[in-house]
Every structure is written in structure tokens, then in C-alpha cells.
């Protein structure tokens, strides 16, 4: 996995133009059964991928925290939401709550998430490759090919399977 992660940014950069073109096409000519196709590709990829060997998303980016996330996680720590925010979060340029530092403070040395049961929605859904209407999040998905080896493979598979 170390080698895969080391080479990923370069590989994603090589595919960047092609991926941009593909997602632009996908937006214009969205196949009828895209969501079902994505579900299959996502499940197949994550059956092969062990996130515990990777954790690159937790190490390099971290999620957005919604108000609901903040309430739930504060409660878990028996903190007031403002105390949780003061300790762990900052507001980014888009006015969203994000982690103060990466790797995420809740990531263990064994790559386990110490707040797994109450983790942010964005962590549960990352890399969003099984969400509805993936053609509407082309830029985000392309960005994720630089961070997530599974997202990279899924986009490669999309280009093979989706005939547009
Ligand atoms: S979601 Fe992607 S980046 Fe995150 S741990 Fe799994 S394979 Fe790695
Ligand atoms: S909260 Fe957990 S899953 Fe989310 S970035 Fe931190 S360690 Fe990873």
C-alpha cells in the first residue's frame, strides 16, 4: 500500500485531463442506470480494498463537520459543542468546520478511527463513489483520485464500463 500511495498523485495527474473530459461527457450524456452501475463498481472495489492498510483520507484531508456531526461527537466526549470546536476544529475558507490539523486527531497508529461509531457523515460516505448522481460531483471525484486509491481505480473502471 505504501508504494501505491506514493505513486498515486503522479498517476492521478497523468489521468487528470482524461478524467476531466470523461466527467464533462458524463454530465451531458448521463446513462439511465448510472447509480446502479456505480453501486456495483464501488462494492467491487471496496471488496478488494482494505482501508485499514491505507487511511490516506484521514491522514491527508479529513472531513467537513456538519452541526449534527458536532453535536453527536461532542456528546460522545461529554463536551459542549463549543468546547469540541475549540479543541479540534477551525473554519475554512468556505465557512465550513474542518479539522485543525491532519492526520485527524481521532486516527490511531493502527489506522483505526477512535470515534468510528459517531464519525462525521463525510467520513462515512467518503469517497462518495456510491452516491446518487455522481456526474454532479465530477470535480470532487477527480480530486479524490489524488488521495484515495479506491477512487482512482473506480474512475478507471467507470471509463471502461460506461459507454458514452
Ligand atoms: S477511503 Fe480511500 S483513502 Fe480512505 S482509507 Fe479507504 S482507500 Fe484509503
Ligand atoms: S473522524 Fe475517523 S474516519 Fe474521520 S478522518 Fe478522523 S479518523 Fe478518519
Ligand 2 geometric centre to CA of 136 (Å):
25
DSSP-derived letter for residue 97 is: E
**Ligand 1 atom showing the smallest separation from residue 147 Cα:** 3
For residue 145, give the ligand nearest its CA.
1
Where would I find the beta strands (DSSP E) of the chain? Answer: 64-65, 89-91, 97-99
Residue 22: CB atoms within 10 A of its CB come to 18
Q: What is the largest CA-CA distance in the chain?
A: 51
pLDDT of residue 163: 85
Angle ∠(40,63,102) on CA atoms, nearest 5: 120
What is the best residue among 45, 53, 56, 131 to mutate for testing ligand 1's pocket, by most ligand atoms within 8 Å of CB? Answer: 56
Ligand 2 geometric centre to CA of 85 (Å):
15
pLDDT tens for 9-68 read 999 999 999 999 999 999 999 999 999 999 999 999 999 999 999 999 999 998 999 999
Q: Is the pLDDT of residue 74 over 90?
A: yes
pLDDT tens for 82-139 read 999 999 999 999 999 999 999 999 999 999 999 999 999 999 999 999 999 999 999 9
Amino acid at each position: 500500500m505504501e508504494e501505491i500511495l506514493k505513486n498515486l498523485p503522479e498517476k492521478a495527474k497523468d489521468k487528470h485531463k482524461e478524467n476531466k473530459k470523461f466527467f464533462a461527457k458524463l454530465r451531458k450524456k448521463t446513462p439511465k442506470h448510472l447509480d446502479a452501475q456505480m453501486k456495483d463498481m464501488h462494492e467491487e472495489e471496496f471488496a478488494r480494498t482494505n482501508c485499514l492498510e491505507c487511511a490516506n483520507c484521514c491522514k491527508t484531508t479529513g472531513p467537513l463537520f456538519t452541526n449534527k456531526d458536532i453535536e453527536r461527537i461532542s456528546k460522545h466526549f461529554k463536551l459542549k459543542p463549543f468546547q469540541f470546536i475549540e479543541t479540534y476544529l477551525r473554519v475554512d475558507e468556505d465557512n465550513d468546520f474542518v479539522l485543525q490539523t491532519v492526520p485527524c486527531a481521532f486516527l490511531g497508529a493502527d489506522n483505526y478511527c477512535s470515534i468510528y461509531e459517531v464519525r462525521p457523515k463525510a467520513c462515512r460516505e467518503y469517497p462518495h463513489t456510491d452516491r446518487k448522481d455522481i456526474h454532479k460531483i465530477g470535480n470532487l471525484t477527480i480530486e479524490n483520485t489524488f488521495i484515495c486509491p479506491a477512487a482512482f481505480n473506480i474512475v478507471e473502471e467507470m471509463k471502461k464500463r460506461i459507454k458514452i
